[in-house]
Amino acid sequence: MNVRKLVCTALTGSVLLVSGLAATTVQAAAAPAPTTPAAAPATVSDNWEFVGYYYWESDCHTAGQGMVTRHEVSKYRCDDGSWVPGDDYELEVVWNR
């Protein structure tokens, strides 16, 4: 129990330290040049929606490809959903409307 508490405390401290450093870096960055709506081309963004978590990447791809095969979705992606590499994968899809 003490080992778990120690690990959680260390992880929390690391996250707070990293987020604090990231916040100061963002504040020090220069502001981007303003863009006008007329100059920017109209883009159509995909509406990605979260479907579920999968422990194995192959299971995520199998589920996503099955949805594409059944014409439920137009496309899918499996994103690494954790800061621990290979921990879990998030299946996100663009539904056929």
Computed on alpha carbons and rounded to an integer, the radius of gyration of the chain in Å comes to 20
For the ranges 1-10, 26-35, 37-46, 64-73, the maximum mean pLDDT occurs at 64-73
What total number of domains does the chain contain? 1
Q: Is 79 helix (H, G, I), strand (E, B) or coil?
A: strand
pLDDT at 46 over 70: yes
First to last CA, the chain: 50
- Model's pTM, two decimal places? 0.52
Place 6 in a pLDDT band, splitting at 50, 70 and 90. low
Burial of 1 (0-12, 13-18, 19+ CB in 10 A): exposed
Range of the domain at 28: 2-95
Give the span between the Cα atoms of 62 and 76, in whole angstroms. Answer: 11
The phi, psi pair for 46, rounded to 5°, reads: -75, 145
Mean pLDDT score across all residues of the chain: 76
Q: What is the pLDDT of residues 48-87, one digit of tens each?
A: 999 999 999 999 999 999 999 999 999 999 998 878 776 7
